Structure 1
Amino acid sequence: CSPGWIKFMEHFYPDLLDHLSTCKSPQQMFGALAKTYYAEKTGLDPADIFSVSVMPCTAKKYECTRPEMFSSGYQDVDVVLTTRELGRMFRQARFSVENLPTQEYDAPLGISTGAGEIFGASGGVMEAALRTVYEVVTGNELDNINFTECRGLQGVKEATVQMGDLAVKIAIINGLGNVREVMERLRAGTADYHFMEVMCCPGGCIGGGGSPLPTDTASREKRLNAIYTEDERMSLRKSHENPALQDLYTEFLERPLGEKSHALLHTRYTPRGRYPQE
């Protein structure tokens, strides 16, 4: 989810790139599907689709231009606006969002889950993944889907999550300033995790470089609380229970890690080193 983290790894820890998940960010997955699945469902020519992403992250602007992000045959996401930029545009146009009538999101891909809501918080990607992975690994339904050990604004959070007989060691890094010490321990073999989440921005995406000001600790805490409150209100709170996602695989992708899903939803990384090659 954090393109700044990916770029950091490519420059400073290229020897560890093979340990990164190959999953694209949600922005890039959606862009690839908009110009394939959505185009096919609606009968549109992908060349006529202009995909605009609204994000709290300035690094997303670079991410959408990476050469790996043309898997639909076109640039999957054409333009990225930050939330702050969009707000400024609304004010300049004297456009009042508050006075718009409430409407449902368009289908397909218009249904979301609580797991999607919490992606914007540090620890949210980890918690969303655990909600699904637990049920896949154990075959049992979760009694309590709130993994509170993933939450909070601490710089580094570590925990062990029991999944049947398997003890899964996790780490959550909040802010790029906290990552080097953990990465050096990993490189030295003195740290051992099954799954690690890193977000560059303090607090996660809710503290992103393009998010509304201020982004101080008090503001981040309010945004975190709002995200988790919205998650609690959702009727669907696990990613794999999303009917739009289930339809996507049934109608188009066929299966996770299949040929089509791997081509559209996964990416590769480039070892760059600290300095440009002469």
Structure 2
Amino acid sequence: MLLATSVAVLRRRVAVALRGHRENAGLTQREAAHRTGISAGRINHFETMRSVPPDAELVALLDLYGATEDRDELLAVLPPARRRTATEAATTDPDQFNLYIGLEAGATQIESYDALVLMGLVQTAEYAEALLRGHGQGLSETEIRRRLRLRLRRTELLRADSPTRLWLVIAQHVLEAPVGGAKVMRQQLAHLLELADLPNIEIQVIPRAVVPYAALHGTFMILSFPIPGDAGLVYVETRVRGLFFEQPTELQEYSQVMNHLRVLARPPQESSRLIDRIRKEIA
């Protein structure tokens, strides 16, 4: 059985399996619907994680696809896939970000390019609070505290017994932006240097002089999962919603950009020296 603490990853296991088996059987969603009596819309929802199939419909689809070898595992995944983790239940943020939190918790590797601010997993409490207060939504004090607790809980992934591997590429101006003031930024950069010493984390900085380059469209994250046949996904967050990209051509495009950024960025040790220099220069 797939080992994962993230409900979203369990749902993704089911979705990836159903889509992959249908495609291997050479069937469209409409054809599968015609032969099982399950609507094409429901099949699409199962394959895109919008809903978890009932046991009987999962079995019917696997039987049609000739994929009965996965039946016991997927049936065992369904009950926990229908639950919500404590972290997912605690958030009232938009659905796409709610889903992202669950996927993040179950990812084995996250590759991130930070173009504007540092990603949530590496933020200190003070840096995160400054961002929340400056978000412009008129958040109540209670809501700020709730979101701050959620964000800090997410950072535990990097120091868990089986920690998430993080490869972070940061534009230099992100490190120089005075989020929260000088003291907050010095603490934040010191925290980055501590994280850079962990064996599961690589941090690279793109120097200010390196322009233009192939990621000026903005921040993105590539997530990889411990799921057979799962190529991963790209997550892009906007102010109003999160966007997921999963098509092979989309994944290839973002992977190529990430590899390009790694080449342009300073190597990890040089990046740490640059981060430390910026930290010391903050007035």
Q: Common fold, TM-score beyond 0.5?
A: no
Structure exhibiting the larger radius of gyration computed from Cα positions: 2
- The TM-score normalised by the length of structure 1 is 0.29
**Relative to total residues, which structure has the larger helix share, 1 or 2?**
2
- The TM-score normalised by the length of structure 2 is 0.29
